[in-house]
């Protein structure tokens, strides 16, 4: 159930949020939800190619900003700038480098990007968006 609630929280409350920090759980659950959604869209694209192409474009555009925001917040948790995502533009290895950086354990104390995420979700300890 956390997968769905985490995904909905990021899409609705943090759609264009590049500030703060995201725990590993928040980021990877969001990433998993995107993989599942893309798998469903790919199945639709194989069954109905005309609809699938348009649907793929819509899904890509709809989730581009939340994905960049979640990755920036995850990098902030490790003490790195969100701009490190630009490493993904390096052919062949860039995306792997960014994924490895996102997989690193976050800093256990407050850093320049904010306090340690209070829970495994995308909200502060009070249940409100930071």
What is the reported pTM?
0.82
Domain assignment present for 25: yes
**Which spans in the chain are helix H?**
2-13, 24-47, 49-77, 94-103
Look at the chain and report how many structural domains it folds into: 1
Mean model confidence pLDDT for the chain:
87
Q: How far apart are CA 46 and CA 114, in angstroms?
A: 44
Q: Is the pLDDT of residue 126 over 50?
A: no
Nearest to 88 by CA among 68, 115, 58, 116: 68
Domain assignment present for 123: no
Mean pLDDT for the stretch of residues 106-130: 67
Q: How far apart are CA 96 and CA 41, in angstroms?
A: 24
Res 78: pLDDT: 93
**Domain span at 45:** 2-103
Task: Express each pLDDT in 92-112 by its tens digit.
Answer: 999 999 999 999 999 999 999
Q: Is the pLDDT of residue 127 over 50?
A: no
């Amino acid at each position: 159930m956390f997968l769905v609630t985490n995904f909905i929280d990021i899409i609705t409350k943090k759609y264009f949020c590049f500030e703060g920090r995201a725990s590993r759980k928040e980021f990877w659950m969001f990433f998993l939800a995107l993989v599942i959604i893309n798998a469903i869209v790919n199945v639709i694209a194989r069954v109905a190619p005309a609809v699938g192409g348009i649907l793929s474009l819509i899904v890509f555009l709809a989730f581009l900003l939340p994905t960049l925001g979640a990755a920036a917040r995850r990098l902030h948790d490790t003490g790195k700038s969100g701009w490190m995502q630009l490493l993904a533009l390096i052919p062949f290895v860039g995306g792997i480098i960014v994924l490895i950086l996102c997989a690193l354990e976050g800093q256990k104390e407050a850093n320049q990007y904010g306090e340690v995420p209070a829970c495994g979700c995308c909200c502060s300890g009070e249940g409100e968006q930071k």
